[in-house]
Amino acid sequence: MTNFLSLADVNDLDALIQSGRDAKANPFADQHLGKNKTIGLLFFNSSLRTRLSTQKAAQNLGMQTMVMNVGQDSWGLEMEEGVLMNGDKAEHVREAAAVIGRYCDIIGIRAFAGLQDRVSDYQEQVMHQFAKYAGVPIVNLESATRHPLQSLADCITIEEAKLTARPKVVLTWLPHFKPLPQAVGNSFAEWMNARANAGKVDFVITNPEGYDLAPEFVGNARIIHNREEAFAGADFIYGKNWSSYEQYGKVLTMDPSWAVTMDDMQRTNNGKFMHCLPVRRNLKVSDAVLDSPQSLVIEQAANREWSAQAVLKEILKGM
């Protein structure tokens, strides 16, 4: 594995999931792999789970870690080519990426969607510019359109918790008053479609009209706008809010009936509830769901350490 920007960088998903589960069982077995290796973690946006779990995974592998909040610890970065840099950005990604690539053996980057310009966001400029200029492997710590470390942790969590060979997995939109990126929803759909294609899950998406994800992420998934119908018989309910793709970055509704409650969960096949966190309690999901034995949200977040460790191990092995 050279970069980990999306599912396309994964050769063998089953093996990667298993590698994460092996790391969970035996966290310190590969400490030799990271000896004298350093990962730089660059945050253009806030982070809790990703910040801590990726540091932890790297340290489990014997790596050194350096964490930097871009634009706060350092300078704002220009991503466009060929511009006259007379604005508020003091450094170009060409230099920043190349230089950080000389200090770090791997670079992890978090850079959310701006939600102003769909074309620009969906070009994934930050990830691609870093991948182009850094000269070392890049790990996506959530980009404008994807959050693959989360999706891998989700796959690990489903593998651990599933009670049938081919569980029904339902991605459901949740209400929120702020416009949030589509990255987690997109990425989960991308990875679940891969699992569905391999016969591992039955994957359904439910969301209000106007909230369909981008077609390239919906793929072969069934979109069911009637959420009661979608929830019926589900083994896993995966909740997430996202702003509209069609009317890009807009909040079209805050309909509270889309929040997940115990009544909803009772329509499932004694299903498990998943969410990538942070979650606003009682706005998106009720306390009762989150505090029930059906909730997997803590285990799912804990698995972020093991998804990161599986990815970093794969990259280190290739060095």
> Which residues are annotated binding-site positions?
47-50, 75, 110, 142, 147-150, 176, 240, 276-277, 280, 304
Binding flag, residue 21, a copy of itself (CB under 8 A): no
Binding flag, residue 64, a copy of itself (CB under 8 A): yes
Binding flag, residue 32, a copy of itself (CB under 8 A): no
Neighbours of 103 (CB within 10 A): 11
Would you say 284 and 175 are in contact if contact means Cβ atoms under 8 Å apart? Answer: yes
Query: In this chain, which of 7, 33, 94, 251 binds a copy of itself, going by CB under 8 A?
Result: 94
Q: Cβ closer to a copy of itself: 94 or 162?
A: 94
Q: Cβ closer to a copy of itself: 218 or 312?
A: 312
* Sign of the four-CA dihedral 72, 92, 113, 249: positive
Question: Residue 26's Cα: distance from chain center in Å?
Answer: 24
Q: How far is the CB of 50 from a copy of itself (least distance, A)?
A: 10
Binding flag, residue 82, a copy of itself (CB under 8 A): yes
Neighbours of 177 (CB within 10 A): 9
Query: In this chain, which of 11, 32, 102, 165 binds a copy of itself, going by CB under 8 A?
Result: 102
Q: How far is the CB of 108 from a copy of itself (least distance, A)?
A: 13
Binding flag, residue 310, a copy of itself (CB under 8 A): no
Q: Which stretch binds a copy of itself (CB under 8 A): 69-77, 202-210, 223-231, 241-249?
A: 69-77
Binding flag, residue 74, a copy of itself (CB under 8 A): yes
Contacts of 308 (CB under 8 A, 6+ apart): 53, 54, 56, 57, 58, 139, 149
Q: Cβ closer to a copy of itself: 281 or 317?
A: 281
Question: Residue 266's Cα: distance from chain center in Å?
Answer: 28
Q: Which stretch binds a copy of itself (CB under 8 A): 44-52, 164-172, 219-227, 234-242?
A: 44-52
* Sign of the four-CA dihedral 49, 52, 58, 61: negative
Binding flag, residue 46, a copy of itself (CB under 8 A): yes
The residue behind tokens 């932890």 is: 56
Q: Distance between CA atoms of 312 and 30, rounded to whole angstroms?
A: 11
Binding flag, residue 90, a copy of itself (CB under 8 A): yes
Q: Which of residues 170-199 bind a copy of itself (CB under 8 A)?
A: 177
Q: Which of residues 261-290 bind a copy of itself (CB under 8 A)?
A: 277-283, 287, 290
Selection from 243, 238, 317 nearest residue 285 by Cα: 238
First-last CA distance in the chain: 9
Binding flag, residue 319, a copy of itself (CB under 8 A): no
Phi first, then psi, for residue 118 (nearest 5°) are: -60, -45
- Give the pair of three-digit tokens for residue 304: 């972020």
Q: What is the helix (H) or strand (E) element at residue 138, kind and residue range?
A: strand 138-140
Selection from 105, 107, 135 nearest residue 37 by Cα: 105
Q: How far is the CB of 11 from a copy of itself (least distance, A)?
A: 28
Contact residues for a copy of itself, defined by CB under 8 A: 27-28, 36, 38, 40, 43, 46-49, 51-53, 55-56, 59-60, 64, 66, 68-69, 73-75, 78, 82-86, 90-92, 94-96, 98-100, 102-104, 177, 277-283, 287, 290-291, 297-298, 301-302, 305
